[in-house]
Amino acid sequence: MNELLKRREEYLRRKMSHLLFEILEYPPKKELLYIGLCYCQLSRIYNLDEIPISEIKNCLGKYLIDFDSYPWRDYLLELEFFYMREGENTFVKGAGLVVYTPSEEATVSIDPRYGFLKNSFCQKVYRYWYISQKWDRFRKPNDGWEVIENAVRLFNEGLYEEASLYLDDYLPYIKSSRELITYRVIKKLSTLAFLLDREKREEALEEIKSLKEFLKEFNKELSDLPFDFGKLSKELKKLGKSLKGGKKVYLPPIRLERKRKRSFWRRFLNFFRDLPIFR
């Protein structure tokens, strides 16, 4: 893959991630996914790359969507993956879709330049649809901790790249040192999980080493956070051994740790222990 295609792939992957964030923060936006769902379903059923527009219409009807009132041109344009073919030699894509009126023989297909992304695109469309149906309390964050909680939800759904990009998008919301340390751990975990998912073993091993060093450096600060990062070092050690042994490995979900509230006497004794005279 040449450098231009790599940059284009990264751009489209980021675009899809940001589309998910928009859908989660503004649920009516999820209707954009219908045309992607229909294309991917029909392409899989018929084992074709080009799907007749008549089939797309029928599929949308099953979702109770009227094709004539559905802004499909805008959605195809926004997704950027698709083009339409009319006859043998007329291809319509980009801004040309806005003024295009297809015949019944017209077909919809993913741009051949991005054919290698078809499976990835369809997997994301299916996953995003599932998430948009499952989550009904996802909102634009008001502070750094809400950014972290939303990123953890994405991570725990296996959306590692999306979790990482979400943290990047809302980095200005991260203010306190506590939030920043948590941000860095989840960012590193998201990067590691993405590398494991792509089976990039050498890069994953380097990321494990980097993460273990970070956990050691900020051990005290991490122990005060409401996540079970305390067991993470041991898990990373086991994961590294399995990875070196050639096994397929995955990161476990990030769990909220329900810490028991300390008793009055424990807090009372700790108060005196922390006084300078007792240090």
Q: How confident is the model at residue 135 (pLDDT cuts 50, 70, 90)?
A: confident
- Give tens-digit pLDDT for 45-66: 999 999 999 999 999 999 999 9
Residues of the chain with CATH 1.10.3450: 141-263
Share of the chain above pLDDT 90, in %: 50
Write down the pLDDT at residue 234.
81
Q: Which amino acid is at 206?
A: E
Q: How confident is the model at residue 138 (pLDDT cuts 50, 70, 90)?
A: confident
Does pLDDT of 164 surpass 80? Answer: yes
The average pLDDT across 262-270 equals 43
For residues 258 and 175, give the distance between their C-alpha atoms in angstroms, rounded to a whole number: 24
213: helix, strand or coil: helix
Q: Which residue has the tokens 């991490």?
A: 222
For residues 41 and 126, give the distance between their C-alpha atoms in angstroms, rounded to a whole number: 9
- Give tens-digit pLDDT for 62-99: 999 999 899 999 999 999 899 999 988 889 988 899 88
Separation of CA 7 from chain center: 18
Write down the pLDDT at residue 44.
95
Identify any residues that bridge with 92 across adjacent strands, giving them in sequence order: 84
Rounded to whole angstroms, what are the CA distances from 165 to 7, 61, 243?
Answer: 16, 34, 25
Share of the chain above pLDDT 70, in %: 90
Across all residues in the chain, what is the average pLDDT? 85
CA atoms within 13 A on the CB side of 162: 23
Q: Which two tokens stand for residue 244?
A: 């070196």
- Give tens-digit pLDDT for 210-234: 998 988 888 888 777 776 666 788 8
- 141-263 CATH: 1.10.3450
* Residues making up the chain, counted from first to last: 279
pTM: 0.83
Identify any residues that bridge with 250 across adjacent strands, giving them in sequence order: none
Judging by DSSP bridges, how do beta strands 82-86 and 51-52 pair with one another?
unpaired
Q: Which residue has the tokens 């297809």?
A: 102
Give the count of beta carbons closer than 10 Å to the beta carbon of residue 263: 9
Strand order in the sheet with 107-110: 51-52, 107-110, 82-86, 90-92
Does pLDDT of 261 surpass 90? Answer: no
Q: Which two tokens stand for residue 48?
A: 């074709």
Rounded to whole angstroms, what are the CA distances from 29 to 15, 50, 113?
Answer: 14, 26, 27
3: helix, strand or coil: helix
Write down the pLDDT at residue 270.
46
Give per-residue burial for 212-233: e unless 16+ CB within 10 Å, then b: eeebeebeeebeebebbbeebe
The winner for highest mean pLDDT among 123-127, 131-135, 271-275 is: 123-127
Separation of CA 112 from chain center: 24
Q: Give the relative orientation of helices 33-46 and 53-62 as an angle to the nearest 10 degrees.
A: 120
Q: How confident is the model at residue 1 (pLDDT cuts 50, 70, 90)?
A: low
Identify any residues that bridge with 41 across adjacent strands, giving them in sequence order: none
Write down the pLDDT at residue 268.
40
Q: How confident is the model at residue 257 (pLDDT cuts 50, 70, 90)?
A: low
Among 132-136, 186-190, 273-277, the least confident range: 273-277
Cα–Cα nearest to 24, from 129, 171, 178 = 129
Does pLDDT of 127 surpass 90? Answer: yes
